[in-house]
Structures are given as structure tokens and as C-alpha cells.
Structure 1
Amino acid sequence: MNGKKRCEKGTFSPDGMRAEILNPFVHKLELDNAYDKIRTAIFTVILLPFRVIVICYLIVTAWFLACVGLYGLSEDDLRKKPMTGWRRSLKPLICFIGKMSYLAGGMAISIRGRQASRREAPILVVAPHSSFLDSCIVYATKMSSVIVRKESMDNYVGKLINYTQPVYVWRDDPNSRQNTIKEIIERATSKEDWPQVLIFPEGTCTNRSCLITFKPGGFYPGVPVQPVTIRYPNAKDTVTWTWEGPGALKLLWLTLTQVHSSCEIEFLPVYYPNEEEKRNPKLFARNVRDVMAKALGVPVLDYTYDDCRLIAKAKQLGIPGGAAIREVAELRSQLKLDVANYEVDLIETGLQGTPRWLTLEQFALRMDVLITVPCSRLYKIFVQPSINLMYFPDYLLATLFILYQHEPLSLLIAYGFKIFDGSGTGRLDITSFEELAARTLNLGPEDAHNLFRGADVEKKEYITYDEFVAYATKKPELSFVFTRDGSQKVKIQ
């Protein structure tokens, strides 16, 4: 080994202070004590029905007004020119009804600062994006034009969204990104009196612990933008909707059974880009993010929507530590383990004789690193609480998933055969295979058992990787194992 590896890389907030390793895609919410449970149960019976009835009445009223305002207009009409006259006059009324629907649900919306005019800032940049309840910003900004997927318009609230004259994203259009940017530029630089364009540049929901990477799409026009922040300063966070955490219905239920909740919207001063920022949208986006992070008092992390997709795929496949997979990658980087992919060398040279259950000291020694904060955090992700030890194969599989995320899943399974092969013979018995299948294919014991029996043609009570491949390639439901982008849960008959 080349001596001990030290952590030098970190994540920094705008003021240069080192930030913690955070996972912005996880939110934990539980009713902690008997008082909370009893109160929620009581309010579910006596408060929730009343609130739901009032909210539905208000939403239907707003929807009806939107239908009236859109009468006689096609989607092409909405994209060609801004609404005028009586149609535009309905917007303040719809916004008022929208705000009242939030108030009926117990959420008071307070606004700080002044919304700039379209002439001052054609684009509003909103962050952090953490909840479906962030839609209140549309009402608070006088129905600014949102950016929305076209396929999501085919629902009940489609009329309300259409009334903002949105910028459409067509998922099945290969040129969708370029066309969306083009339309944003046209809207932002038009001399006509369009609504301001409202963007959530993070592109996905986080838990508000930080600001992740801003997508540059809304910054291509190179025009002044107004940053807008959203806060939910409540004792219990019942609004955060992330990749790992409560679902939308549970959050809505818990929010509507709170006596009172708050949302604070703050309009920050308009940000005027310099010449360099106009030429470089990514720099423009990064600098605006720094301003907003400073106002919010949170760090910035270079996490992206692609990280969310990676986390979702890891969870779908049952990869150990799936929800924290981005954090694993960051901590490995801090420990310099990503420089030479140290774990792959360990597996290739053979793991026979290596304990599967490790203490922190054993893990640090095995990985040839010092016991630092990043080392301890990485260790804790894979610790089994019942025995307070790390299961080393779990760590290795998570690492390999990160390293080979763009390769076919079969490569990860091939390494898995080496990880779980305690004999060094290149074969797995049914117990070891079930462990591997649970952690790479998300299979339960019964499905893994059936898969093993199917591959064990000669009934030897063990299979090799080649035997697994020979069987799996004949099963249509396992075709995703051999493609670069496939991931799904399978049931083996």
C-alpha cells in the first residue's frame, strides 16, 4: 500500500465553511409519541373531513373559472401570445381562491420582499423545491408561467396549469430539452407582456438541508432573474416529499391534521448577470444558487437529478445502502478510495479469509485509511444495529454499483459471485446465492430459490456464474440484467 489515505476533499457552503455530508433525498417522519398519535387521530375525525370539503369546493371553483377563462382558446393560442382583457382579469381572483385553499388546510402563506416586474426580471428562480405544496408559489406570483411535462396535463388540474400559459416539456420528443430552452429564451426576451417564467432549477424535490445543482435551462436567456426562496418553519415537517420518505397521501393527511402550519416565501433582490455569466449559463446558475443558499443559511451540494435516478435504481434493485448511495460515493471520494478503485483490487485478489463482519477499526485497516469522520460515516451506513458491526459484502456491492452504474447488471452479479464465494471455487450454494439475489435483483427467498433451482440443471446444490448466465439469458423477465439501463424487480417461476 502507498501509506494512509487522508481526506482533503469536502463540500463547501457559499461562505467557504465546510459543510456536512448530507443526503438531500431522504426525509424521515414519524409520529414520535402517544400525544401526537392521539391528537392526529382526533383531528382526522373532526378536522380533516371539514378541511377536505372546503378545499375541494375552492379548487373546483378555481377550476371552473379557469375553464371559463380558457374557453375558445387552443394550446397553440396559449403559446402564441399572452392572454389579455377579461381573461387576464380572472387571474387575481383565481390566485385569491388558491391562497384560500391553502388557508383552509391550515397553512398560512406569508410573503416577504417585493416581486419584481417582468420588465425587471423576466424569470423567477425558486428554491428549494421540497414538496408538491410548493405549487402555492404560482398563486403568490400572480400565476407566473410554469414549466411542465405535457403528459402531466391530462388530469383534473390541467386547466389551472394551462391558465398560467406554461412552457411545455415533451418527454417523447428527442429534442425536448433544446426546444424548452428555446421557448424560455423566446418568452424571456419577448417584448410582449407575457407572464414571468417560473422555474425550480433543482429539478427534483429535496429535504431543504441544502441546495443541489441548479439546471442551467432557465439561465440561457442571460436576462436578470429574481431569486425566490420557500421555507416551511413548522415544528413538525409534514410537507417534505423526497425519494426516500413518506408518500404524498401520508404527507397530505398529516399536514391537514395539524392545527396550523406556515409557508414563508421571500423575494430576494433581482440578480443581474455580468457578461461572463451571460456567456456561461452554468456559471450564472451556480452564482445564483450561492446567493440563495446564503439567504437560506444552508450549504450547497453538487447533487443532481441524475443522482436521484441512481438512488431510485439502487433501491429498486435492493442494493445495500441504496438510499445513501450518493453519500457513499462522496465519502469514498473524500477518503481517496475512488482514485484507484481499491475495492475492485480486493475482490480480484480474493476475499477468502476476510471476515464478513467488521468493526470500525477492522474496516479502516482493511481499506487502508485512517479512522476519520468520513471513514466513520461510511462505516455507519452499512452497520447492522442489532450487533453494531458492518457487513462487508454490503459495502463492496454498493461500491461496485457506483463504479459500474452504466454497465449491465450482469457485471455486478459476476463480482457478487466472487464476493459471496467463501470457498474460492467460483460457485455459490443456495444460501449464498439467495443473499446475492436479494442484494442485486431485489428477490425474496422464494424467487431466489426458484432462480437457483432453474440454473442448477445438474442438481449439484451449487451454481457458477456461467450457469447463472446460461439460465438467465433464456428468461425474458431477466433480460434487463444484460442491458445497460435496465432495472426492475422480477418474479421467477
Structure 2
Amino acid sequence: MASRNHGPTPASSLATPLLSDSITPTTHTRAANGHARGHDGHDDPCAAASVCDGGGDPFAFLSEDRRPPRPPGPSPADPFRNRTPALGGLYGWVRTLLLAPVAVVRLVLFGLSIAIGYAATWVALRGWTDSRERPREGAGPMPAWRRRLMWVTRLSARCILFSFGYHWITRKGRPAPRELAPIVVSNHVSYIDPIYFFYELFPTIVSSDSHDAIPFVGTIIRAMQVIYVDRFSPASRKSAVNEIKRKAAGNSFPRVLLFPEGTTTNGRFLISFQHGAFIPGYPVQPVVVRYPHVHFDQSWGNISLVALMFKMFTQFHNFMEVEYLPIVYPPEIKQENALHFAENTSFAMAHALNVLPTSYSYADSMIASRAEEAGKANCSSYMVEMAWVKEVSLS
């Protein structure tokens, strides 16, 4: 099971997190190794026969409570491609022309919301930290009155969502108390995701170094006491994990929000999880975000930010669903490390989304981007599921 059957872990247990930093894959975690195993870690001959030998029902796992088997090699999928990058035929052009005046009004609302939110954030940071500088590592939590002032920015964020056509947002479940699940993880489909979570949770986020230089956005995320990370620097990643541990351990900080996929996808698959959210060993609450659509894929894939914003402004309404899942607890057996914790969480989210987890990673999206820049056709064919390649090379 992705979540434990026992009751919530007492808050006092958060003081002794799982500190196993070893994430070396073991040979029993993938069906690709030739064996299917149940959750108790023992070989399941029936599952092994159906998955590996071709006997029995190959879809038996769908009716059982176990991880779906992964294929023994790369899968023919593209989790990064936006399916509707063009306007979408006659209907798209007619809709765009009809909503052009509405798009202007929405653009004005967007600009006003950004300006008001930025001004409120500047006031909230003034005298506490320099809004032009990054927060210091080891800094204390934002004072309560400054957090209350940030409600102006949070409401501005909701107005931004409204301007993009998210007039109502369907929410299932509810956030767990921060004392029980100090870390929240979510799939990442669009730039809309962090705007929603900023409004809903006002969490501390883990963000790329490059986001600090974005006008307005850089200042606002500093008020969230952002944890910066350079994904290409081992020292930066280690420092980020230490900051996640520190802020998750103290109830005076807000929740820590991470997008463990490390990049946006089209929502049709889950790609491999990075382990920064799972190494500290605290309970995690998974959240899944969906964007149901017919004519307009809202994912931020092979489409520019300006084009995606324009298409959002020229929709009658954009649908968004957010579902809070049950808490996933770290493994009780210390030999099971962050890799198992991440896989359990990924399985829970994939089950809720009704999608398959894959071994694609941020590296695959970079490969596809380089292929597109080089003018190659069918760029997705150059992706090789780098997380799977890495695992095979280590086994």
C-alpha cells in the first residue's frame, strides 16, 4: 500500500526522521529484473509467471494491490509534448476571435493582480530581509504579522488564476495537518500549479536557481522562504536536502512543497522522482493535479510561455482538479531507503491519476529539446528513459 493502515504518526515522532541517505537501487524493486514481488518483499510466482513468462493474465496486477510492473526497456511514450500547440482548426479561430475583447480584460486583471501582489510582498519583506537578495540559509521563519500581510498576495494569486480562466477549481480531499505531514509533493503539469499552491497553502518551495531572476516572481518566492537548488551541483543538492530537513522539522515554518519530477509533463505519465523530498524521512502528503480538457492541452510542454498564456486568455473556461491523497509514511525498515519511499509515493499518485509511472527524467526533456533545436524529426524518439539507463548501469 502507498499509505499505512495505522493511525497518524504522533507529532513527536517527527523529531527522529529516517536519515538513510543511501538511494542505491536494489534488485527487487523492478519487474524488469525478471521477478515480480508483492509488498511484503517475497517472490510471487504467479505474478512472475504472468509478467515475465507470458503465462496467465498479464493484467492481473490491475485488480491487486501492488505496483504495476515496468517494462524491461524504454517505453514508446512522450510525457513532455503538448498535444494542442496550434489554435485547433475552425473552432479555435472562431473562439479566439469571439474572446479577443475578453482576453484584453483578463490581461488587465492579470497585470493589476501582479502589481498589487508585488507591492504587498515588498511591504511584507521590508525591514525583515532585502527583497532584492536571496534569503539566508538558516534564517528563521517569517513573523506572523508579515505572513498575514501576504494574504493580499495570496488573494492576488487567486485573481491571476481567475484571469487565466480558472473561474472555479475542483478540490478533492483536504490538506493534512502540518504536524502530521510537513512535506507535500505534487505532479507538475503547468506554471499554474505553483500559483494555485501559493494561494492554497503558502508553502516553502524548492525552486531552481534560475527562477530568482524572473521579474516580480523572484521577489514573491523569496517571501515563501524558498529553498534554492542547482540541479547540476551535488553540493547545492545536498544543501537543499539539509534545508528541507530543517524546515520540515520545525512547526514554525510552513509546509515544504516539492515537485519531485523536477520539470513539467503533459500529465499523461509520471516521470521518475528525484529523492530530495524523501531523504529526510518525514511523512509526505501527495497531491495530484489534473487539467481535464477537450480542445486545449494546458500543459507547459513544447509551447512557449507567451503562446500558452494567450491560449488560456482566449478560453471560455479552463478546468482544474486538485486531489489531496492520504499521507504516505516512510518505510519502517531502515534497509528500505529513500528510493522505496519515492516509489511508494509515485505509485499512489499514478494510481490516483490512472497513469503509468515511467523512467523518463529531466535529462530526457533536455535531450528532446536539443534534438528539436537541431531540427530533428520525431524528437521524442531520442529519449531513452535516463532514470532506467542509470539504474541498469548501477545494477
Which TM-score band applies after superposition, normalised by the shorter structure?
Answer: 0.7 to 0.9
> What is the distance in 2 between the residues matched to 1:56 and 1:239?
21
> What is the TM-score normalised by the length of structure 2?
0.74
Change (3 A) 1:259 1:319: closer
Q: Provide the residue aligned with 1:186 in structure 2.
A: 246
RMSD over aligned CA atoms reads 3.0
Change (3 A) 1:327 1:284: same
Change (3 A) 1:149 1:15: closer
Q: Provide the residue aligned with 1:262 in structure 2.
A: 319
Q: Provide the residue aligned with 2:18 in structure 1.
A: none
- Residue 28 (str. 1) matches residue 83 (str. 2): yes
> What is the distance in 1 between the residues matched to 2:77 and 2:103?
34
Change (3 A) 1:141 1:219: farther
Change (3 A) 1:278 1:104: farther
Give the deviation of 1:109 after TM superposition.
Answer: 2.2
Q: Once the two structures are superposed, what CA deviation does each residue of 1:275-314 show, in whole Å capped at 9, x if it has no partner? A: 2378511111011000010011111111111222222233
The percentage of aligned residue pairs carrying the same residue is: 31
Q: Provide the residue aligned with 2:115 in structure 1.
A: 60
**Count of matched residue pairs:** 321
Give the deviation of 1:117 after TM superposition.
Answer: 1.9
Q: Once the two structures are superposed, what CA deviation does each residue of 1:423-458 show, in whole Å capped at 9, x if it has no partner? A: xxxxxxxxxxxxxxxxxxxxxxxxxxxxxxxxxxxx
The unaligned stretches of length 5 or more in structure 2 are 1-51
Q: Provide the residue aligned with 2:24 in structure 1.
A: none
**Conserved 8 A contact 1:126-1:201:** yes
> What is the TM-score normalised by the length of structure 1?
0.60
> What is the distance in 1 between the residues matched to 2:200 and 2:186?
11
Secondary structure, aligned partner of 2:383: helix
Change (3 A) 1:329 1:124: closer
Greater shift, 255-264 or 321-330, is seen at 321-330
Secondary structure, aligned partner of 1:228: strand
The unaligned stretches of length 5 or more in structure 1 are 1-6, 334-338, 340-493
> What is the distance in 2 between the residues matched to 1:152 and 1:329?
25
Give the deviation of 1:241 after TM superposition.
Answer: 1.2
Q: Provide the residue aligned with 1:461 in structure 2.
A: none
**Conserved 8 A contact 2:181-2:283:** yes
Change (3 A) 1:8 1:170: same
> What is the distance in 2 between the residues matched to 1:90 and 1:113?
27
> What is the distance in 2 between the residues matched to 1:323 and 1:249?
23
- Residue 113 (str. 1) matches residue 173 (str. 2): yes
Aligned pairs for 1:282-431 within 5 A: 282-326=339-383
**Conserved 8 A contact 2:270-2:357:** yes
Change (3 A) 1:73 1:254: same
Change (3 A) 1:304 1:276: farther
- Residue 200 (str. 1) matches residue 200 (str. 2): no
**Conserved 8 A contact 1:214-1:289:** yes
Change (3 A) 1:240 1:300: same
Q: Which residue identity lines up with residue 61 of structure 1 in the other structure?
A: I
Q: Provide the residue aligned with 1:41 in structure 2.
A: 97
> What is the distance in 2 between the residues matched to 1:17 and 1:327?
18
Q: Which residue identity lines up with residue 73 of structure 1 in the other structure?
A: W
**Conserved 8 A contact 2:88-2:295:** no
Change (3 A) 1:27 1:173: closer
> What is the distance in 2 between the residues matched to 1:297 and 1:263?
16
> What is the distance in 1 between the residues matched to 2:343 and 2:362?
15
Secondary structure, aligned partner of 2:359: coil
Which structure has the bigger radius of gyration?
Answer: 1
**Conserved 8 A contact 1:315-1:323:** no
Change (3 A) 1:238 1:322: closer
Choose which of 125, 128, 143 in structure 2 pairs with 1:84.
143
Q: Once the two structures are superposed, what CA deviation does each residue of 1:116-165 show, in whole Å capped at 9, x if it has no partner? A: 122111100111x1111212332343210111123421222212111111
> What is the distance in 2 between the residues matched to 1:150 and 1:328?
25
> What is the distance in 2 between the residues matched to 1:328 and 1:219?
21
> What is the distance in 2 between the residues matched to 1:268 and 1:277?
24
Q: Which residue identity lines up with residue 289 of structure 2 in the other structure?
A: I
> What is the distance in 2 between the residues matched to 1:329 and 1:118?
34
- Residue 169 (str. 1) matches residue 229 (str. 2): yes
Q: Which residue identity lines up with residue 153 of structure 2 in the other structure?
A: I
> What is the distance in 2 between the residues matched to 1:8 and 1:309?
35
> What is the distance in 1 between the residues matched to 2:231 and 2:329?
32
More helix by share: 1
Q: Provide the residue aligned with 1:488 in structure 2.
A: none
Q: Provide the residue aligned with 2:211 in structure 1.
A: 152
